[in-house]
Amino acid sequence: MAETKAVAKTAKQPAAAKAAHEGKAPAKPAAKATIQVQYFRSMIQAPVKHKRVIKGLGFTRLNQIVVREDTPSIRGMVNTVPHLVRILQ
């Protein structure tokens, strides 16, 4: 019974630990692309959905610039409120 537990524990090693054990270097994560977005128009008269998108992007004040990961979800949020934000980079 004890032998099966030892085998089960070694079989569940993480990939990095297994690679280090085998003498290989662990794979490095790829550099992620970023996007700079500026909040330049007030959301006072905007619909509630647009206000939530601005909040979700991380904006707290006007003319603020945030750096976000360039993913399809972030791009979709920016495309939802193009009249309130602009892409700088």
Alpha carbons 48 and 66: distance in angstroms, whole number:
21
- Which range, of 2-6, 73-77, 81-85, averages the lowest pLDDT? 2-6
Confidence (pLDDT) at 37: 98
Confidence (pLDDT) at 52: 98
What's the whole-number mean pLDDT along residues 67-83?
97
What's the whole-number mean pLDDT along residues 12-37?
72
Which of 12 and 88 is assigned the larger pLDDT? 88
Domains of the chain and CATH, by start? 34-87 (3.30.1390.20)
Radius of gyration of the chain (CA): 23
- Which range, of 11-20, 23-32, 53-62, averages the lowest pLDDT? 11-20
- Residue 65 φ/ψ region, left for φ over 0, alpha for ψ in the -120 to 50 degree band, beta for the rest: beta
